[in-house]
Amino acid sequence: MEKAKPKQERVPDILTPVKFLKGIGEVRSRFLSKLGVRSVLDLMEFFPRAYIQRTMNTPIAEFKVGEKVAFTAQICWVDKRMTKKHQPQINIGISDGVSAMVCTWFKFYPGLEEQLKPGGTAWFSGTVSEYQNMLQLIHPDVEILDEETEPGFWKERPILPVYLLSGNLTQKVIRNAVLQAFSQYADFIEDNLTADIIAKHHFEPRKSALQMMHFTTKPENIEAVRRRFVYEEFYYMQLMWARHNRFHKDEVHGITFENKKLLTRRMYDKLPFKLTAAQKRVITEIFADMTTEKQMSRLLQGDVGSGKTIVTLFAMLLALENGYQAALMAPTEILAEQHYQNIKHLLNTAGLGHSELVEERKESKENSVDSCLRRNDDGNIRNDCVRVCLLKGGQYKGKKELKEQIASGEINLIIGTHALLQEDVLFKALGFITVDEQHRFGVEQRAKLAKKDTHPDMLYLSATPIPRSLAMTVYGDLEVSILDEMPPNRKPVSTFVRSSGKLDIVYTEIRNELKKGRQVYIVCPLIEESEKSDLLSAETLFKHISTKVFPEFSSALLHGRMKSADKDAIMHAFKQGETKILVSTTVIEVGVDVPNATVMLIEHAERFGLAQLHQLRGRVGRGADQAYCFLIEHFPISNVGRERLATMTGTTDGFVIAEKDLELRGPGEFFGTEQSGMPRFRFANLVRDQHILKLARNDAFDLISIDFAFDKPEHQMVKKQFNSLYTKRETMMLY
């Protein structure tokens, strides 16, 4: 019989799965995994969300309604009863020795009642409210401070850390696991910042900084320690953008365009309006990029109506007059169609379109494409010829011929949707690409476009103004141009908040606009009623509007579940003025340009994000007439909802609104949908930590300017950390 092999001891490794810590195991490790904790290092970086001071040191009498508080108090009495709906309810009275308040739970975990004992001490955290002239906490977080059941180390601590929980995890389980992690693995913590950076910013070494976050006795000093970890996150992300920026300057050579002033001068001279100073400035910035050998990567930001399309057209014409093709990609067919119609109109106005430049030729399939085709004596297409087409997804008659003409170069200005990314769409000489509403395309799609053919110049458009802090993290490789001036004939949209109880007054004001021949948008958050929602649906509202409120005016219903052909027909009728009232979901947030529409009414406005409200408001005020936006609020309304509506009535500046939206919702939801490439920070907050982001960016760009490949001995640790974080994403973007 063979002797049993001696059990091998686990080699201490900071990346050891957390399940091997005593008291964790398989089940609890799964709950920790949901919190992002999989290894011992993850646990060390799983920072407390708050700290408990055992002593009662916060006077309850100083609390204010609406204030978020965290404090220790004594339980005076406990009362469990049944509500009128036969649901259990717990009320307790708590005191700091001078003043008292009530805590109430309508929903609570089993066993809470047994833990809440008169005379016991507990830590409470929540938002202060008021009931019958007494301060109250509804559903506060609570932890009983029972020294008898605590292990020795934590029993003697004056300060206790408080962690996020999941499943059957408790504070004591996580505290014990954290204590084990540092007891066994602290000596294996490596720093990931160089000595000069640590000295420059007065950071703690990583080992001691991690220990301070969990075992501090002075919570007031934690913010200074946290700065180090915020800096780390920003620093390594900015190293990636610095390398990307340097790589494209040194290794990727784009097209050097010449400003020949053939098409661009003709467009400028024939414009039916004057460009704003901001438009001229941005065109100069773009042309300066395009006339160098580097590949342009520029983000153009501007509110709805600020004139991004005409700026883009000038850039595309510069590419065309140099013999290259230009493409514009939009996220939806509606938006692509609008760009196509607008650009075709501008070309015709300038005498560059089909109406003036088409030559006498025999009828052929080529004439099915709007604009012209001119050739030199050698048979090649002339550089002063503009031929524009619309390329959409799916199968339709003539698409094959369009792709053939794009591949041959006969069509030199292509507007389309994601269809432009398809492998069978080939270009003869693609020199310029514009991506509209670029945040709807992921990082991989952006990278795929940038690597097409001869590294075309890239211009990304955004009608959602992006705060500088977010631009530096999501689009850190892009130069930024801003259209911060509206055309002189545009009047600011007058915005009002009205309660649902005053809709009759609002309808009277809308009727006055309709009698003047104007048109109206009415927006709802839902398509149809739901048993689980008290929101008004577009279908219900349309029936009410069309039969009860404005039966004398033509109206239509639009929502995202309709077929594309039906949506297009409805939008076309509204744009032509055949329909006076359009009841819609947010499908009209981006798309149709109807100068005659002067009223935007948004039902349940408190439920929308600021960026979305701003986009919806931008649908009106497109003409010379005064426009109005009515934000209808339905009670109850949260404090955040009130803050959003107050912001909308206080400003029409998209950048002010964007900063506020980022502050209220955070980066993950800023664009309304989860975006590929959106940064996920464990420690950093883009609103609170902008100053740290700037420091980290400057340091990262300085390092890459002297050591692109991290070859120097003092940067080997940085190289190791960078490779573990960003190699996969960087490879996808660069090569």
Can you give the pLDDT at residue 672? 43
What average pLDDT does the segment 655-665 reach?
A: 81
Do the domain assignments include residue 240? no
Final residue before a domain boundary, out of 98, 119, 144: 144
- Would the pLDDT of 495 be above 60? yes
| CA 442/CA 293 separation, integer angstroms | 26
User: Is the domain of 500 the same as that of 475?
Assistant: no
User: Is the domain of 526 the same as that of 645?
Assistant: yes
Instruction: Identify which has the larger pLDDT, 121 or 437.
Output: 121
Can you give the pLDDT at residue 362? 31
Structural domain boundaries, residue 515: 494-651
What average pLDDT does the segment 32-40 reach?
A: 94
For 332-381, what is each residue's pLDDT tens digit? Answer: 787 888 889 889 888 988 888 643 333 323 333 333 333 344 445 554 44
- Would the pLDDT of 665 be above 80? no
134 and 150 Cβ atoms separated by less than 8 Å: no
350 and 270 Cβ atoms separated by less than 8 Å: yes
Can you give the pLDDT at residue 724? 86
Token code pair at residue 51: 């700290």
What average pLDDT does the segment 484-510 reach?
A: 90
- Would the pLDDT of 286 be above 70? yes
Instruction: Tell how far CA 653 is from the center of its chain.
Output: 18
- Would the pLDDT of 318 be above 70? yes
**Residue showing tokens 């998209």:** 654
Can you give the pLDDT at residue 149? 56
Q: Give the amino acid at 359.
A: E
User: Is the domain of 498 the same as that of 467?
Assistant: no
Token code pair at residue 296: 């342009």
Compute the C-alpha angle 35/39/45, nearest 5°.
65
The one-character DSSP state at 220 is: G
User: Is the domain of 414 the same as that of 315?
Assistant: yes
What average pLDDT does the segment 447-473 reach?
A: 75
Do the domain assignments include residue 341? yes
Can you give the pLDDT at residue 360? 28
Can you give the pLDDT at residue 55? 76
Q: Give the range among 92-101, 352-361, 496-505 with minimum mean pLDDT.
A: 352-361
Q: How far apart are the first and last CA of the chain?
A: 59
- pTM for this entry: 0.70
What average pLDDT does the segment 649-678 reach?
A: 68
Do the domain assignments include residue 49? no
Q: What are phi and psi of 734, to 5 degrees?
A: -90, -40
- Would the pLDDT of 34 be above 60? yes
Final residue before a domain boundary, out of 631, 651, 671: 651
What average pLDDT does the segment 100-104 reach?
A: 94
What average pLDDT does the segment 714-719 reach?
A: 94
Residue 73 belongs to domain with CATH number? 2.40.50.140
Instruction: Identify which has the larger pLDDT, 462 or 702.
Output: 702
User: Is the domain of 324 the same as that of 412?
Assistant: yes
User: Is the domain of 278 the same as that of 362?
Assistant: yes
- Would the pLDDT of 294 be above 80? yes
Can you give the pLDDT at residue 515? 96
User: Is the domain of 478 the same as that of 506?
Assistant: no
- Would the pLDDT of 531 be above 80? no
For 537-574, what is each residue's pLDDT tens digit? Answer: 889 999 999 999 999 999 999 988 888 788 878 988 99
- Would the pLDDT of 628 be above 50? yes
| CA 477/CA 482 separation, integer angstroms | 16
| CA 319/CA 600 separation, integer angstroms | 38
Instruction: Tell how far CA 140 is from the center of its chain.
Output: 30
- Would the pLDDT of 671 be above 50? no
Q: Give the range among 228-242, 402-416, 662-676 with minimum mean pLDDT.
A: 662-676
Q: Give the range among 75-89, 307-321, 354-368, 710-724 with minimum mean pLDDT.
A: 354-368
What average pLDDT does the segment 235-251 reach?
A: 85
Compute the C-alpha angle 363/364/369, nearest 5°.
105
β strands within 253-324, DSSP E: 297-302
**Residue 584: which H helix or E strand, with range?**
strand 581-584
Nearest to 316 by CA among 252, 229, 202, 412: 412
Can you give the pLDDT at residue 27? 93
Q: Count of domains in the chain? A: 3
User: Is the domain of 506 the same as that of 471?
Assistant: no
User: Is the domain of 527 the same as that of 463?
Assistant: no
What average pLDDT does the segment 524-535 reach?
A: 68
Q: Give the amino acid at 12.
A: P
Do the domain assignments include residue 229? no
Q: What percent of the chain has pLDDT over 90?
A: 44
For 132-186, what is each residue's pLDDT tens digit? Answer: 888 999 999 888 887 655 557 887 788 889 899 888 888 889 999 999 999 999 9
Q: Which contacts of 16-23 are long-range, i.e. CB under 8 A and separated by 24 or more positions?
A: 16/40, 16/185, 18/42, 18/43, 18/177, 18/181, 21/177, 21/180, 21/181, 22/176, 22/180, 23/173, 23/176, 23/177, 23/180
Place 250 in a pLDDT band, splitting at 50, 70 and 90.
confident
Instruction: Identify which has the larger pLDDT, 82 or 372.
Output: 82
User: Is the domain of 470 the same as that of 514?
Assistant: no
Do the domain assignments include residue 123? yes
Residue 610 belongs to domain with CATH number? 3.40.50.300
What average pLDDT does the segment 669-695 reach?
A: 70
Do the domain assignments include residue 47? no
Q: What percent of the chain has pLDDT over 70?
A: 86
Beta bridge partners of residue 435, listed in sequence order: 329, 460
Final residue before a domain boundary, out of 616, 651, 686: 651
Do the domain assignments include residue 168? no
Q: Give the range among 47-51, 382-386, 616-620, 697-701 with minimum mean pLDDT.
A: 382-386
Can you give the pLDDT at residue 735? 44
Residues 6+ apart with CB under 8 A from 319: 255, 257, 290, 325, 326, 431, 432, 457
DSSP class per residue in 289-312: HHTSSBPPEEEEEE-TTS-HHHHH
Examine residue 667 and say whether the peptide bond preceding it is cis (omega within 30 degrees of 0): no
User: Is the domain of 517 the same as that of 477?
Assistant: no
669 and 439 Cβ atoms separated by less than 8 Å: no
Nearest to 621 by CA among 506, 497, 486, 484: 486
User: Is the domain of 340 the same as that of 458?
Assistant: yes
Q: Give the range among 101-115, 349-363, 584-598 with minimum mean pLDDT.
A: 349-363
Q: What are phi and psi of 561, to 5 degrees?
A: -85, -10
Do the domain assignments include residue 290? yes
| CA 57/CA 548 separation, integer angstroms | 61
Instruction: Identify which has the larger pLDDT, 197 or 482.
Output: 197
